[in-house]
Amino acid sequence: MQKDIFDRIIVFFEGIRQQTGEYLYFEEMPEQFEATAVPKVQKTEERTIKKAPIEAIKIEESKIVEIKQPQPVIATPTLLDEKVAPDWQQAKSLDELLNKIKDCQKCPLGITRTKFVFGEGNPNADIMVIGEAPGADEDLQGLPFVGRAGQLLTKILESVGFRRQDVFIGNINKCRPPGNRVPSKNEVEACEPFLLKQIELIKPKFILALGLTAANTLMKSNYKMGDIRGKLFNYNGIQTLVTYHPAALLRNPNWKKPVWEDMKLLRKLYDEYIEKTKKE
Ligand code: URA
């Protein structure tokens, strides 16, 4: 079976799994199919179906039924069509990029979302703020960080003299995971290239990653917050800081102080950058 058809079938069943639970969904293709050229399905943290101990079961040769390759599933064009313009990577502006990707159906979140949340702000921002994924309010309005956590983010930015409209605010994932769950590995992998393209177009001098999903996705790591906040990272030449996600701050006000320190550090680094560029 062609790889792309296989991938699209996986997306189709992912959608069904989200709506019906695990019963209709297999974690991996049965081993018979793995012997073909079909690639192994990536695991996601949330699926935990264990393999049956097949080695332990002895069956007489004559009783073994040969399982044939399944026939391709004919699904509706909407579910099979990724709806992303094939040349999206050639987009020359954020508006063009948005137009090319806004109908994306590359992962099951495309089926469950209300609106695609591309991000908003200054297309030439020096600072890019990156969160995890839209929540309920963002999903309804199509805008990032407009709910309670978003209002707090606006205040946090203003506390050190940054206006929301001067930075660019985006997310790792452009569509809301149902129930605000953490996006799965497959969903992040499907969406992250769009964020990388946004970074390429905006060319920020600083990134502020909000929370561990944003930080660890960007840095391809598995850090804990205590290991990384307050430190400066070089992300492809962009000075990158990590702080607590404002939603976490709403749950735990003790983190206000570290966030305040992180924001002061960002302000200091930004002022130094402005001073330096004035001299050049
Ligand atoms: N949380 C996020 O990570 N992003 C949003 O846009 C809203 C809430």
SS3 for 239? strand
Output DSSP code: residue 54: G
Render pLDDT for 149-167 as a digit per residue (tens, 0 to 9).
999 999 999 999 999 999 9
- 140 and 127 within one domain: yes
- 228 and 117 within one domain: yes
- 89 and 13 within one domain: no
Global pTM value: 0.73
Backbone angles phi, psi at 243, to 5 degrees: -140, 175
Going from the Cα of 144 to the center of ligand 1, the distance in angstroms, rounded, reads 6
Going from the Cα of 244 to the center of ligand 1, the distance in angstroms, rounded, reads 12
> 148-159 and 256-279 helices cross at what angle (nearest 10)?
50
pLDDT of residue 177: 97
How many structural domains comprise the chain?
2
Going from the Cα of 171 to the center of ligand 1, the distance in angstroms, rounded, reads 7
CB 234, CB 240: distance < 8 Å: yes
Ligand 1 lining (C-beta closer than 6 Å): 131-135, 138, 144-145, 147, 149-150, 171, 247
Going from the Cα of 134 to the center of ligand 1, the distance in angstroms, rounded, reads 4
Atom of ligand 1 nearest to the CA of 245: 3
Atom of ligand 1 nearest to the CA of 246: 1
- 90 and 55 within one domain: no
- The kind and range of the H/E element at 38 are none
Range of 31's domain? 3-78
Render pLDDT for 32-67 as a digit per residue (tens, 0 to 9).
333 333 334 444 444 444 444 444 444 455 554 554
Give the range among 28-42, 213-227, 254-268 with minimum mean pLDDT. 28-42
- The yes-or-no verdict on residue 257 having pLDDT over 60 is yes
- The yes-or-no verdict on residue 194 having pLDDT over 50 is yes
- The yes-or-no verdict on residue 93 having pLDDT over 50 is yes
- What is the rounded distance in angstroms from the CA atom of residue 255 to the CA atom of residue 192? 28
pLDDT of residue 250: 95
- 131 and 219 within one domain: yes
Atom of ligand 1 nearest to the CA of 137: 7
Tokens 């137009």 belong to 99
b/e for 198-217, b at 16 or more Cβ within 10 A?
A: bbebbebbbbbbbbbbbbbb
Going from the Cα of 78 to the center of ligand 1, the distance in angstroms, rounded, reads 27
Q: Average pLDDT of 200-205?
A: 98
Atom of ligand 1 nearest to the CA of 172: 3
- The yes-or-no verdict on residue 69 having pLDDT over 70 is no
Half-sphere exposure of 61 (CA within 13 A, CB side): 0
pLDDT of residue 61: 56
pLDDT of residue 9: 74
- 110 and 25 within one domain: no
Q: Average pLDDT of 97-103?
A: 97
- The kind and range of the H/E element at 172 are none
- 94 and 74 within one domain: no
CB 178, CB 136: distance < 8 Å: no
Q: Which of 78, 95, 122 is at the close of a domain?
A: 78
Q: Average pLDDT of 262-271?
A: 97
Q: Which of 78, 98, 120 is at the close of a domain?
A: 78
- What is the rounded distance in angstroms from the CA atom of residue 146 to the CA atom of residue 256? 19
Q: Percentage of residues in the chain with pLDDT exceeding 90?
A: 69
SS3 for 115? coil
**Structure tokens belonging to residue 231:** 């430190």
Pocket test for ligand 1, best of 138, 154, 195 (most atoms within 8 A of CB): 138
Going from the Cα of 237 to the center of ligand 1, the distance in angstroms, rounded, reads 25
- 30 and 155 within one domain: no
Output DSSP code: residue 169: E
Tokens 């097949």 belong to 54
Give the range among 23-27, 95-99, 102-106, 253-257 with minimum mean pLDDT. 23-27
Render pLDDT for 101-157 as a digit per residue (tens, 0 to 9).
999 999 999 999 999 999 999 999 999 999 999 999 999 999 999 999 999 999 999
Q: Which of 18, 46, 78 is at the close of a domain?
A: 78
Atom of ligand 1 nearest to the CA of 143: 6
- 135 and 59 within one domain: no
